[in-house]
Each structure stands twice: as C-alpha cells, then as structure tokens.
Amino acid sequence: MVGRQRATELCRLALGLGQADQLEAVLMSEESSLTRFATNYIHQNVAETDARLTVRAAFGQRVGTASTNRLDDEGIRAVVAQAEGIARLQRENPLWRSLPAPPIAATGAAYEDVDPATRDCQPEVRAEAVGQLVGQVKAAGLSAAGKVSTGLTEVAVANSLGAEAYMAGTRAGITAVVSGETGSGYASRTAGRFGDLDPLAIGRTAVDKALASRDPQALPPGEYTVILEPPAVADMLQYLAFLGFSALAVQEGRSFMGGKLGQQVMGDNITIWDDGHDPEGLPLPMDFEGVPRQRVTLIERGVAKGLVYDTMTAGREGRESTGHALPPGFGYGPMPLNLFMAAGEDTLEGLIAGTERGILVTRFHYTNPIHPVKAIITGMTRDGTFLIEGGKVATPVRNLRFTESILRSLSSVDGITRERQYQGGYFGGMLVPAIRVSGFTFTGATEF
C-alpha cells in the first residue's frame, strides 16, 4: 500500500516539475490477488502490485497526457516532460475549458475504507474458500471453475489549481460456474470485505442451478415473459451506463437520453440512480479528477431525469461536474460506476408463482450493443435457463439468443423483488433486484 502521504507527495512532485498553464497528476495504485480453479482444483494463484502516475498538461487549449510506472524522481520528471511535449504538439481543443478547481474539486480530502483482512488476504485463505465451495460441488458429482479475488485500490489526485484528494478501498469477489454433463449453474458475489462473502452459499446456488438444468429441452425463439435474476439485470444496467447515462454520449448524439430529459422512457416502476457514497455498494466518493461524486438520479419513475458529467462535458454546457470522470486517457467520457435500481415488493418465488408461462434467466453471456440510441443489445442466456409453466419451474431449456431494447424491456416490467444483490462492475458495481418482463424477444436457439 502506497499510503496517502506518499501518494500525495508523488503527485505534488509532478506538479512542481511542470511548466504548463495547468497540470494534473493522478496516481493509481493497485494490489490484486487472484486464485483460479477449474475441474475442482486450484490451477493458478497470482498476485500483482502496480502503480501508475498519469500527468495531464494544458497549454491554453492544447492538452497532452502521459503515464509511467517509474515513480523515482527521474521517471516523474520524464513523464511530466512527455505530457507537456505532447500538449505542445496538439491542435487546440475548442471543448477544453479547465481542470477542476476548488471548491468544485476537493482540497485535502481523504476517503479510506480499507479492510486489513482483505488487503492482506493470503493464498491459504482464498484456497480455503475454494475448498469450501468445491467440496459441495464434488459431493454432487459436478465440476467447478471460477475465481476468488482480493485487492486494494488507491487513487491520489492533485492539480495546479489547488485540488487535492485521496481515496483507498478494498474489494473481494467469488465467482463460480458449476457444470455437469448436460447442465451448468452460476453464482457470483462482490463485496468490500472478504469476510462478507459466503463461499458455501455461493457454491450452493451454483450447484442447485447446475443440477436443475440437466438435460435441457429445446424451446422455439419468440416473445416470452421472462424473469431476470440480478446478474442479468446488472448486465442490462451496465450497458445503460455505457450507452446513455453519460453527458458525452448525449453531446455526441449516441445516447437514448438525447432529447428525452423530462420524458417517460421506461415504466413508472423503474428508478435508477448513481451514488458513490452509499455503503450498500462499493463507495467511490470522488472521481479521477478529485471532484466529490454527487448522487445523480438518472431515471425517476421511468422519467429521464439526469446525466453524469466530468469537467469537460460540464464545461460544454456551462455547468459543474457531478464527479464522474474516469481515469485520464480512458476516452469514454464520464460514467456512473455505482448504480442502484429501486427495489419492489415481490419475492423471486412470488414472481415465479405468478407466471403462467415464461422463462427464468440466471444471467446473460456475450452481450453486445446493436443500436445505442434505441439501447438495443444482443446476447445469450447462460448457466441456468428454465421454462416456467403454471407458476412453477417446469424444465430446463437450452440457451436462447435475445435481441431486445433495454428501454422496451424496462417499460414492460410488472414485478420487482424486494431483495437486491450487489454485482461487481467496472471499478464499482450495481445493486439490483430481480424483475419480471413481458414480451421479451428471443431471436435464436442454441444446441446446449
């Protein structure tokens, strides 16, 4: 762990070596450990420690960015010179306004949520978790593959306008895919503390699905009522974040939110927001420009309410950043990383019991966008797809390919569970319920 003091010192050192009109230094440090298993045996245990300093330099509206893993004086001096050299060669960017300055950006703020047991988790501890999970898999005559991960991420930000902030947090996850000869099951959980994960419960969920999905039957493509479990719902929300909740996506004319703010775009039982401070998720209280994250309501009772901004996209509209900048050089613009979907009043069992005929979907696989403005995606079901008849799970079915608009699906939700699950995502994650959707379109079938 680099620590707040050292990380801040490195950023300050970079700022003191520059000549640009404005200068920003972002230090991202990560300690990550991973234990992988397959066919019920651990086959890989790796650990990585990395720290990267990224410098952004601006001469007027000419901006350059450079990164380095060398954190000695010579390495930092070289990366500052490289960023400034790149900036001098750039054309002026008419969209560039400024780096964020206090009070919009933080001054001396520090956010730390580090669990020592997760940060210092040893291979033997992760192996014990694998053993607990795999033990019940073996007992069921099945085979498991997956991973157990632990890690720590630190981010320090400073700029020449006086902004300075630091955050650090731990993260852990367990993912399992359990397979038999003709069926498979899946379960995955993410938390800020390794101790909050239950390997036995995760394994049991995957085993139960694998046993229930044996000998799947073919089902013709078409429109079905579907019950989407949290992993599938999280997949849809992550694509909404990527395709449309970003101010840059709207400004570039590629978002389903474009021209729709204040209008109904989903059902009135759907509310989605982003909150980097909520402890029910994995808090990210500031962005990668040092701006504190605001809670942003994106969809309120089906109405498009808001977007997330970084400094550049906010400057184009004469407003302030909401604190959603990604790390320098990512190029995607701002993005919500801590998504929440409002719970309902149902249970998963109740949704199934209230479905005369439909399909229960555990998760999606190989999802890709087709039409960003209409939020149409395509993908396949995976690791537990079941036919519901007469309010009961009747039989496993072979996986199906879907092609569907997320907006249309979330306009056709007639059931939402009270219970929500946290699913890990890019940096942060999503806390989501299970939902029931009518008229979900499956366009193809598979042989497995």
pLDDT digit string (tens) for 344-353? 999 999 999 9
- What pLDDT does 297 receive? 98
Residue 235's alpha-carbon distances to 336, 337, 342, 428, in angstroms, are 14, 13, 16, 13
Question: Can you say how many angstroms the Cα of residue 39 is from the centroid of all Cα atoms in its chain?
Answer: 28
- What pLDDT does 243 receive? 86
- What pLDDT does 185 receive? 98
- Rounded to an integer, what distance in angstroms lies between the CA atom of residue 6 and that of residue 218? 59
pLDDT digit string (tens) for 19-44? 999 999 999 999 999 999 999 999 99
- Rounded to an integer, what distance in angstroms lies between the CA atom of residue 159 and that of residue 25? 6
Contact by Cβ (8 Å): 409, 441: no
Environment class of 308 (CB within 10 Å of its CB; exposed 0-12, middle 13-18, buried 19+): buried
- Helical (H) or strand (E) element with 124: helix 123-139
Residue 422's alpha-carbon distances to 244, 289, 361, 417, 434, in angstroms, are 22, 26, 17, 14, 11
Residue 281's alpha-carbon distances to 169, 343, 425, in angstroms, are 12, 14, 11
Q: In the Cβ-directed half-sphere of 154, how many Cα atoms lie within 13 Å?
A: 23
- What pLDDT does 448 receive? 86
Spans of the chain, pLDDT less than 50: none
pLDDT digit string (tens) for 305-351? 999 999 999 999 999 999 999 987 787 899 999 999 999 999 999 99
Environment class of 98 (CB within 10 Å of its CB; exposed 0-12, middle 13-18, buried 19+): middle
* Model confidence pTM above 0.75: yes
Share of residues in the chain with pLDDT > 70 (%): 100
- What pLDDT does 327 receive? 87
- Rounded to an integer, what distance in angstroms lies between the CA atom of residue 260 and that of residue 277? 27
- What pLDDT does 271 receive? 98
Which residue has tokens 């990383």? 337
Contact by Cβ (8 Å): 411, 267: yes
Domains and CATH numbers, the chain: 4-202 (3.30.2290.10), 216-448 (no CATH)
- Rounded to an integer, what distance in angstroms lies between the CA atom of residue 103 and that of residue 117? 35
- Rounded to an integer, what distance in angstroms lies between the CA atom of residue 269 and that of residue 215? 37
Contact by Cβ (8 Å): 42, 126: no
- Rounded to an integer, what distance in angstroms lies between the CA atom of residue 361 and that of residue 440? 11
- What pLDDT does 425 receive? 81
